[in-house]
A and B are shown apart, each in its own frame.
Chain A
Amino acid sequence: MDNLVKELKEEIIKVLNLEDITPEDIDETAPLFGEGLGLDSIDALELIVMLEKNYGIKLEDPAKGKEIFQSINVMADYVANNRKK
């Protein structure tokens, strides 16, 4: 799980172009949206594309993203349980 958490952090930094942010800077329990990194609805769509590309997870309803992207830990749990690759 720790590896997946680290991998997700690295992917998020890459996909969302979070220059200057290191995986250590991201608190795995903190909300990804709203405060903190200042992510928006387009970022959520980018993360949905990333989940499908990297893990074969297809989210038809973008609203579902909100639940999954609550925090890195929630995201990691979801990926671990639903990944197709």
Chain B
Amino acid sequence: MSRQRQIVVTGIGALSAIGNSPEQMLSALMDRRSGVGPIEHLLTAHHEFPCGEVKLTNEQMVNLLGLPAEGAYTRTFLIGALALRQAVGMAGLKPEELPKCGFINGTTVGGMDKSELYYTDFRTTLDHREYIATHDCGACSDMIAEQAGRFAFVTTLSTACSSAANAIILGANMIEAGECDMVVAGGSECITKYHLNGFNTLKILDTEQCRPFDRDRAGINLGEGAAFIVIETAESAARRGATPLCALSGWGNACDAFHQTATSPEGEGAYLAMRKALEMSGLNPADIAYVNAHGTGTINNDETEAVALSRIFSQSSQQSHPWISSTKSYTGHTTSASGSIESVICILAMQHGFVPASLGLSNPIADGQLSFAPTEVLRQPLNHVMCNSFGFGGNDSSLIFSKTASEVSEVSEASEPSDIFIEAAEQISCQAPLSEEWMTEPATPAVPYQRSTDPNFRDFFPPLVARKMGRLIKRAVVTSLRAIEHSGIAMPEAIVTGTGLGCVENTEAFLTALTDHGEELLQPTQFMQSTHNTIGSMIAIHTGNHGYNATYSQKSASMESALLDAYEQMRLGAIDSALVGAHDEVTPTYYTLLEKTGYVGAEGQTPCCEASVSIMLGREEKGSLCRLDSVRMAHRPTKEDLFAIVSQSVPDVVMLGLNGNEANDRPYADILCLLGDVSIPAAQYKSVFGECYSASGLGLYALAHCLDRGIVPAHMSLTGKEITGIKSALLINHSDGLNFTFVKLSK
């Protein structure tokens, strides 16, 4: 992909175990001071594992933020809100500029710190139910965003330990595509008992300070923190009078497609991510002066990352090798926030001309092949640095920052976007699976909730292959395989997945065992399947797909977030096909929790259902279902904003997410009122498919098939009469009155 625009960094904000600001972190790095130590804040039995905690209590953070003492605050939110405030402050972003700026957070833990504390209450009483709603990753991002104000759009990446890096990549792609000029991106994550125990089931936690890339390394120290960076076009920075700290010159995302928790022996995903980032930046490996490696300190990661680094940097023609270090021995592994915390460290290293020392490294692996930074701080100018972040499931990403913005060879206005088509769309839901029977003979979902009607999974894979897949993963793989097959595209270039909560069944099993039986005898399989990105990575593993892979968890806007990502990359010409998915499941316990939040179960509301949808995007009009014209997200649009968006070009039909709950339906009614003069036929899909975080995936799926046939069946039309001759349509969705989304399709 050739670069269109120069992207600069104009603000950074960070909190981690080595400081509550970038300045404090800088002095710890210069003094070689680790923040890893005995656990002080987390309530756990596992005091044998040192961790890198942020040195602030929740109460202190509430005070620093000036929040009312009483409120439903999760630790991930508090740390994130402080980091965001710093980044926005340094960039000099004024409140009135934020509506033009996107906010992209990366988190996997979300509000789990409170969920694990109150899970017994959640299940048996109404106490602490306000924390049920703060559990979701997307809710966490919404709360952080609210502290700053009104953004252009808000979304959440959840690709485990590469979440923050992927948040920065989405931001960069949005800017490249000319969708916006400014984005604040990064990640936030607090330590929880849940993932401390989860990593412990995998036997990859070190009881001493971690020693990345050392022959005697024995695992991870968990850390926590948050960091956000403000990225914008060079023109935007100049216009605002903001001083660029450095440039973001390249980024790459690839999938290892090997195993849910292990990395491939040749480090393929890591290699591909670094190679893509280098190609985009136009730099040679020899130009990179420093690599902030993922370097978790586990036997597996460091060994295979070293292999991948050698493949990139140890070519015989090269004159010099970059210094490599992992700063996780300072901060601990800050999981979803690591990509942005380490980006901030890279930026500080470049600004101040030093190589962060390899703390604790005495006997490096791959000796002679790679140049690990010494245990002393080296003072030297750094012009180009690379930052690696790899996640479970092989979600591997690499970023390159440069001291000055290199000339983009041909800075041109983004060329007219090539057309994008929905080539195929498949579903497993409460309706007949993998069929369009719902158009003529819809099944009636049971009240109050209805699980999906599954196909016979044995028709798709043998039991030995299926045994590592939960129900939701099986559905996701089956709908994906079918959509790929029907699209005529052998291998999609990207797999982008939306899921509000991922494999709830596994999360629930692990959380129940943790709450009811304590911090012992927990099962690794339940833990590893509870990360949201396990769905997308299992699709990649099953289809051998090493392309771009990302997962979004933004409540009801998860599907649209995934679609937006794929759409922008296709507009940029970076890819020509993508598999976009939306997958969520419901369990009996989870249903009762959802009911306590008021999200489902209101009188007259459509039942809660499960959804698995896979949609193939491509460039081929022939045989496609419809054209994908545009995807837009709006964080907190005013009535004027909404009118401007929906009246831009009036479609033949609007497809709405009505569900019979007054609070949910009012915004749709308001939009119809705004369009009062033009009276557009309106239709709904939740009456057929039910309500869940991925419901709008079924809305998109249904609308694509309606457009293909030119009709909306009578049972979906608001007037009860079939709508015929439709050539264009608009899918409108919102998430609790926030994050409005608009997907335009045409025939």
A→B interface (CB under 8 Å): 16-21, 37-38, 40-42, 45-46, 49, 52-53, 62
Contact = CB atoms under 8 A, between A and B. Distances in A.
Given A49-B201, A62-B203, A42 B525 contact: yes
A52 B521 contact: yes
Contact of A19 (B202, B466, B521, B524): B466
B468 A17 contact: yes
A49 B522 contact: yes
Interface of B: 201-203, 259-262, 463-464, 466-468, 521-525, 528
Closest A-B pairs by Cβ, 3 of them: A20-B463, A19-B463, A17-B467
B525 A46 contact: yes
B203 A16 contact: no
Contacts of A52: 521
Given A19-B467, A21-B463, 5 more contacts: A37-B464, A42-B260, A42-B261, A42-B524, A45-B201
Given A40-B259, A62-B203, A46 B523 contact: yes
Given A49-B522, A49-B523, A41 B464 contact: no
Contacts of B262: 40-41
A40 B202 CA distance: 12
Contacts of B260: 42
Nearest to A45: B524
A26 to B, nearest CB: 13
Contacts of A42: 202, 260-261, 524-525, 528
Given A42-B524, A46-B523, A49-B521, A18 B201 contact: no
Contacts of A62: 203
A38 B203 CA distance: 21
A41 B203 CA distance: 11
Contact of B467 (A16, A41, A49, A53): A16
Contacts of B464: 18, 37-38
Nearest to B458: A20
Contacts of A40: 259, 262
A41 B525 CA distance: 11
Contacts of A21: 463
Contacts, number: 37
Given A16-B467, A18-B463, A19-B463, A46 B524 contact: yes
Contacts of B466: 19
Interface centre among A42, A45, A53 (most CB of B within 10 A): A42
A20 B466 CA distance: 11
B113 to A, nearest CB: 25
Contacts of A19: 463, 466-467
26 contacts: A16-B467, A17-B467, A18-B464, A19-B467, A20-B463, A21-B463, A37-B464, A40-B259, A40-B262, A41-B262, A42-B202, A42-B260, A42-B261, A42-B524, A42-B525, A42-B528, A45-B202, A45-B203, A46-B523, A46-B524, A46-B525, A49-B201, A49-B521, A49-B522, A49-B523, A52-B521
Nearest to B261: A42
Contacts of B203: 45, 62
Contacts of A46: 523-525
A58 to B, nearest CB: 10
Nearest to B526: A46
A16 B466 CA distance: 11
A61 to B, nearest CB: 9
Contacts of B259: 40
A16 B467 CA distance: 7
B732 to A, nearest CB: 41
Contacts of A37: 464
A18 B523 contact: no
A80 to B, nearest CB: 21
Contacts of B524: 42, 45-46, 49
A15 to B, nearest CB: 8
A23 to B, nearest CB: 15
Nearest to B457: A19
Given A45-B203, A62-B203, A53 B521 contact: yes
Contacts of A53: 521
Contacts of A45: 201-203, 524
Given A40-B259, A42-B261, A18 B467 contact: yes
Contacts of B528: 42
A45 B203 CA distance: 8
B191 to A, nearest CB: 22
A42 to B, nearest CB: 5
A29 to B, nearest CB: 20
A17 B471 CA distance: 12
A53 B517 CA distance: 12
Nearest to B300: A41
B46 to A, nearest CB: 14
A19 B523 CA distance: 18
Interface centre among B202, B259, B463, B467 (most CB of A within 10 A): B467
Contacts of A41: 262
B455 to A, nearest CB: 16
B462 to A, nearest CB: 8
A41 B201 CA distance: 12
A62 B262 CA distance: 15
Contacts of B523: 46, 49
Contacts of B201: 45, 49
Interface centre among B203, B463, B523 (most CB of A within 10 A): B203
A19 B461 CA distance: 12
A13 to B, nearest CB: 10
Nearest to A43: B525
